[in-house]
Copies of this chain bind each other. A is one copy, B any other.
């Protein structure tokens, strides 16, 4: 997952827009930080501490790491108070920044019963106090400080989604099947029929442009030639995926990439993560507990391998990330944001991994706010890509190998974190994220 931003986009702003609205930024800072804490409110200290697999981190670690980010990249060298916290926090909460120093090994994050949750929350509060002091004392033209703050907030929003996916995985390991938060499931309409939308061949502009925020991996904006293609109007549904399962999709090697076939056999996969069959009926684990699989929801928690096999079985394929972006730049960000309050105070959707139906228009719908959509594109640098200088540059570029790009944004993604050029990325066997798929095909 792209976790580190860079500051140059803000610095590259035309001079005329450089007067940063600091008051607005302070407000945004308060809101984002508060959201992270609210996400942890349903969790006990135990829930916040345990790590259920090396890919996932404890919520307490997320709380500490996002504060460490501000502490390290903004406060250090700018605030005279000195280090109030144990020196080891620099190591414990460093994720990957070799240029900043050592890191506590990722698979051992769950062994940190100390600092306690209370101590980590105190660390957060003190970082907030200092950072707000810094921001309030800054000259109104301090774009560098504003830029770094924005990066820190975008970074924190990424971890908000991870808190939900990681805790969902943790709770799913418990035979008691506890819920993160028991809320009634929202009402659902019928499935939308699948339609195909055509895009003509041509040279398209791909990537982010302009002064608004983006991560380095969305840049530079560049040209790509695309053949004519078609994109499905909506994501693949649970009902469609069930048909694939019942047609023997998981038993037929000819549908699978060789590596994918190896994975599903070695791990005994027979359906999406969190699905369980009992007496012929399928149920699934959600953040609100166990319930039945509903045919009309977008399928979620599938790996790239499963998405790819489903597409092959359908006689279609996954879109490239460029195809997806071409369509998305012409589509509304159509999440049903009125219901946002259930799991995530700032999320694109009220539901755990699903949406009932979207207000159809002339183009594809549900591109944002339901499930991340696997593309067929490997995560590689754009032409002309260069990581930004300094420690904050030591990031997105380091992961540009062996991972696949997902686009859109899920029900757990904060609304203000969603944009058409956003590149999410995971290993092809990962499925604890809210990941689904949408079909594409060559134009007829």
| Chain B binder among A17-25, A169-177, A236-244, A284-292 | A169-177
**A175 contacts B88, C-beta separation under 8 Å:** yes
- Mask, A236-268, CB within 8 Å of B = 1, is 000000000000000001101111100000000
* Chain B hits for A193, CB < 8 A: none
Q: Are B227 and A224 in contact (CB under 8 A)?
A: no
- Chain A residues with CB under 8 Å of chain B are 44-50, 52, 60, 86, 88, 91-92, 96, 98-99, 104, 108, 110-117, 170-171, 173-176, 178, 203, 222-227, 253-254, 256-260, 304-305, 308, 320, 376-378, 380-381, 383-384, 394, 398-402, 428, 442
Chain B neighbourhood of A60, CB < 8 A: 46
Chain B residues near A203 (CB, 8 Å)? 203, 225
Complex formed: what's the CA distance from A304 to B402 in Å?
Answer: 12
Contact A46 B114 (CB under 8 A): yes
* Complex Cα spacing A304 to B383, Å: 19
Whether A257 and B173, one on each chain, are in contact in the complex, defined by CB atoms closer than 8 angstroms, is no
- Contact B46 A111, beta carbon cutoff 8 Å: no
For the complex, what is the distance from the CA of A203 to the CA of B111, rounded to whole Å? 51
Give CA–CA (A304, B401) in the complex, Å: 10
A71 to B378 Cα, complex, angstroms: 37
CB neighbours (8 Å) of A394 from chain B are 254
A48 and chain B: residue at smallest CB distance: B46
Report the nearest B residue to A377, measured CB to CB: B380
Q: Given A203-B225, A394-B254, A428-B402, A175–B104 Cβ distance below 8 Å?
A: yes
For the complex, what is the distance from the CA of A365 to the CA of B257, rounded to whole Å? Answer: 36
Report if A96-B44 is in contact (Cβ < 8 Å); known contacts: A50-B110, A377-B380, A384-B227: no
Chain B residue nearest to A252 in the complex (CB) = B98
A401 touches B44 (CB 8 A): no
9 contacts between A and B (CB under 8 A): A44-B45, A46-B48, A46-B116, A49-B50, A50-B113, A52-B111, A99-B254, A225-B225, A384-B442
